[in-house]
Structure 1
Amino acid sequence: NFYPVPPIIQAELYVRIPDDMRCLGKDTEWRGGFARQFQHIFLEGPVVDNLGDLYIVDVPYGRILRIDPGKTITVVATWDGEPNGLAATHDGHLVIADYKQRILSFDPSNQKIKPLITRRHLERFKGPNDLIVDSQGSIYFTDQGQSGMTDPTGKVYRLLAGGKLETIVENGVSPNGLVLSPDEKFLFVAMTRSNQVWRLPLHSDGTTTKAGVFFQSFGNAGPDGLAIDEEGSLFICHPSLGSVFVVDSNGIPKARIVSGTSGINLTNCCFGGPENKTVFITDSLEGNVQKVNWHCRGARSQPRLRTMASTPEYQPFLKYSDDPAAEETSPPQHPVKRRTTVLSHMLVFVATSLVWGVVVFLIVPSPMPTSSTQVSASTHPTILENHLAGIRHNVTSGKRLINCGNSTEEAKAQGCKYDILLNHWVPGPCFDKESVDEYRDDNSWGAFSDINMTHRLTIDEMSNRDFYWTSIRDHINHCAIMWRRQFYVLFDERRAMDTVVTSPGHTEHCSQYLMDVTEGMFKEPTKTMRGFAGCWIKD
């Protein structure tokens, strides 16, 4: 290494799991790689939510522990498993990489754990180790098992939000922790037994090529958990060397974090704290969590989890058979979204009011002129009849679809325009200039290049980036505008309608988003991905 020795930063003890919360004297078949050292606890998989609660797993005893900002520790789930990694989904659940039970889902609202996916085709996973969730809701996870230098068969998978499972790596040398670059164009995977971190470019079609070694180390055990900050610096936990190595986006050493206690088994880390600038590190064998204050934020904002219910008793887990047909969870199952009673009643009231408003509007003549884009009920008398008769129809029936391609160059070549409210390129016939100008002219629609929302982007800059940052308030406005457009598309039976407006998945996303958000979150940043929409046209 031709670079100077990086500065050493000593972590400080954040919290120690007290003896009365450890499984003292309780037997377990888990031994990991520390059979002679392991006693009664082994911490891993840290995740911090937007309330400042830190979640960690106790691998040998199948537990999830929650540590609140006041350092009160609660066991929130216990089951017959060996959890090693945690990640938060967009709908407020935790997904779990469990060596024994494979990939699981934990619903904080009822504290139940269910299998999410347990096998690829007919073959059970070797033994999942860690996992992450990207901005589109896809779950990346490592299937480590007992792979190594003499058996390089570890795998990395991506479970898409729709349930499709894709294989990204098939020749992993003990794949362990993983993390995405801030722009999600690269995937970093710790390969423990080869003492490396691999860097994999991710292409738009889901494939990867030209994977390479980003970081090379030494020692008895190699890299474990990974984290990344907003500048692209990678945090590499290395248990046998008692360090967390920090390298920049080019792999140049920036710092070495060492333990602030007698323990050196620093296995995993994550960002959290009031400004998302605190690095929390699990010291697994000692059963404590350490922390370091960092100069910038983590690359991803802290997730919002569902409201936690009271702690249940130990949850006996279903036993798997060797026959996939007899297994309860052969297809991937995503958690069912739950809504509170109050919000459900509010939705029913709003929906009912809207329906009655439409009926009254159609029946009672109005002296107000309609715009050139609207069609009155008197012009189309079948509209009222269909509404009152409850007749449903597919709004895309009898229409042809035109697209903008999959790149900015293709979109411009096909005459598409960038809709700042949709965050999509859309074909000209579906571009709603009136509503776009409404927000563009008063400068109230902001997009930024950084998570701190300090560098504002022009519309041209927005349209050329893969993603940018907006406020949660703007995300709410986006959903409201989509519903307004959706109403007039259906009510007026418009000739052209974009594929975002007609998407059931987008409508479901917006409805859940509005029910989960709180007023205190309005100014928080949210990552917005640029897209390419189609347009249904009735000739």
Structure 2
Amino acid sequence: MTKTNYPTLGKIERFSNALDSLIDADELIVQLADGFKWTEGPAWDARRGRLLFSDIPNNRIHSWNDTAGLGVLLDPAGNPHGEDDLHAAPGTNGLFYESASDSILICNQDARSVDRYALESGEREAIAIRFQGKKYNSPNDVIRSADGSIWFTDPPYGLKDGDGSAGRELDVKCVYRLSADGKLDQLIADMTFPNGLALSPDEKHLYVSQSDPEAPVLRRFTIKDDGSVSGGEVWLDTKSELNEDNPGLPDGMALDTDGNVWATGPGGVWVTAPDGEALGRIHTGKATANCAFGDDGSTLYMTATDKLLRVKTRAKGIFFA
């Protein structure tokens, strides 16, 4: 058990003895900071050794590490890119650190776009802002594959009136892929509320969560050589655990080097093996929106409603292999 001077909460729940190789069942869930409105989008800035995360309603991107504590990277975090949108709520959602360019990809609610922000220069550009001339709903989570493709989800959560917003220009809520050569494809259009997404370590599979209380599931798709996807079977169904003691829906996720999926869902973060077996849960007792590995790869950071949490793991995140 890790000793800490920070407050702790929750517990580790073991569904299978296989969990023991990934996390100590007595490990403490540590509260690093609180007082936010809704935390999201954690990403580890490897060059500076810090976590970056969004506080959406407060329209900030924060930083955190043990040396400097809590800081502010961007305030305001959202950027309208010169075109105010009356339907868009301010703020940013999912983030992804691009090591090659030393930038972060930002799901920017203000412009309903995906942006790239250079951490050294502060230069920012919208790299995805329309699909066939129509505004996205509100890009929510974003990742990058080894070939330079950028994948993002587009539910309507960043619109002031959500699903019923008069500002919606697209009838569907999709998963998109922007290839390195600029080709934009609408990959998945049969999900009610696509949200978090992640790639398997070999990048042969794409995991997408669905934040729908009627169907709170995680789906897995097979990625073809041309970047399109097939399959989409339900990988994890959390409907039976959805109750007032287990707040939250499937949302963001992270993978470890062995392909285990650490996915937010009812009650906290679910740990699921590559064969789809749920091994356990990091029960935060809070609606937990997202998670990311950081430090040396064996710390899982979690954005949980108004808090930033972390827990030490025996597993190591895929970007730390």
* Deviation (angstroms), 1:78: 1.9
The CA distance in 1 between the partners of 2:65 and 2:237, in whole Å, is: 36
Deviations 1:176-196 (A, max 9, x none): 000000000000000111201
Which residue does the alignment assign to 1:245?
Answer: 270
The reply on whether 1:114 has 2:125 as its aligned counterpart is yes
Q: Which residue among 69, 91, 109 is the counterpart of 1:99?
A: 109
Gaps of 5+ in 2: 1-13, 20-24, 79-89, 157-161, 165-169
CA distance 1:195–1:235, shift in 2 (3 Å): same
* Deviation (angstroms), 1:9: 6.0
* Deviation (angstroms), 1:296: 2.1
The reply on whether 1:61 has 2:31 as its aligned counterpart is no
Deviations 1:13-72 (A, max 9, x none): 24114x6xxxxxxxxxxxxxxxxxxxx621111111223201001111221111123142
The number of aligned residues is 268
Higher mean Cα deviation, 217-226 or 118-127?
A: 217-226
The reply on whether 1:211 has 2:235 as its aligned counterpart is no
CA distance 1:9–1:269, shift in 2 (3 Å): farther
Gaps of 5+ in 1: 20-39, 302-450, 452-539
Partner SS, residue 250 of structure 2? coil
CA distance 1:14–1:52, shift in 2 (3 Å): farther
**Structure-2-length-normalised TM-score:** 0.77
Larger strand fraction of residues: 2
Q: Percent identity?
A: 27
Q: Report if aligned partners of 2:32, 2:310 keep a CA contact under 8 Å in 1.
A: no
Which residue does the alignment assign to 1:266?
Answer: 288
Partner SS, residue 300 of structure 1? helix
Alignment of structure 1 residues 427-438 onto 2, 5 Å:
none
Q: Report if aligned partners of 1:16, 1:289 keep a CA contact under 8 Å in 2.
A: yes
The CA distance in 2 between the partners of 1:293 and 1:72, in whole Å, is: 18
The CA distance in 1 between the partners of 2:273 and 2:287, in whole Å, is: 23
* Deviation (angstroms), 1:105: 1.8
Which residue does the alignment assign to 1:169?
Answer: 188
The CA distance in 1 between the partners of 2:186 and 2:314, in whole Å, is: 36
* Deviation (angstroms), 1:99: 2.9
Which residue does the alignment assign to 1:196?
Answer: 217
Q: Report if aligned partners of 2:101, 2:118 keep a CA contact under 8 Å in 1.
A: no
Deviations 1:443-500 (A, max 9, x none): xxxxxxxx3xxxxxxxxxxxxxxxxxxxxxxxxxxxxxxxxxxxxxxxxxxxxxxxxx
Deviations 1:504-530 (A, max 9, x none): xxxxxxxxxxxxxxxxxxxxxxxxxxx
The CA distance in 2 between the partners of 1:232 and 1:13, in whole Å, is: 25
The CA distance in 2 between the partners of 1:230 and 1:9, in whole Å, is: 22
The amino acid across from 1:41 in the alignment is: K
The CA distance in 2 between the partners of 1:147 and 1:186, in whole Å, is: 28
Q: Report if aligned partners of 2:268, 2:283 keep a CA contact under 8 Å in 1.
A: yes
The amino acid across from 1:277 in the alignment is: S
Which residue does the alignment assign to 2:258?
Answer: 231
Structure whose CA Rg is larger? 1
Deviations 1:324-347 (A, max 9, x none): xxxxxxxxxxxxxxxxxxxxxxxx
The CA distance in 1 between the partners of 2:171 and 2:53, in whole Å, is: 29
Which residue does the alignment assign to 1:12?
Answer: 29
Alignment of structure 1 residues 7-406 onto 2, 5 Å:
11-17=28-34, 41-50=37-46, 51-79=48-76, 80=78, 81-89=90-98, 90-101=100-111, 102-145=113-156, 146=162, 153-193=172-212, 194-218=215-239, 219=242, 221-238=248-265, 241-259=266-284, 264-273=286-295, 275-284=296-305, 286=306, 288-301=307-320
C-alpha RMSD of matched pairs (Å): 2.2
The CA distance in 1 between the partners of 2:60 and 2:123, in whole Å, is: 12
Which residue does the alignment assign to 2:7?
Answer: none
Partner SS, residue 129 of structure 1? coil
Partner SS, residue 75 of structure 1? strand
The CA distance in 2 between the partners of 1:254 and 1:9, in whole Å, is: 15
TM superposition outliers: structure 1 runs of 4+ over 4 Å: 7-11
The CA distance in 2 between the partners of 1:9 and 1:269, in whole Å, is: 20
CA distance 1:230–1:152, shift in 2 (3 Å): farther
Higher RCO (C-alpha 8 Å, min separation 6): 2
Partner SS, residue 254 of structure 2? strand
Q: Report if aligned partners of 1:152, 1:174 keep a CA contact under 8 Å in 2.
A: no
The amino acid across from 1:92 in the alignment is: D
CA distance 1:15–1:167, shift in 2 (3 Å): same
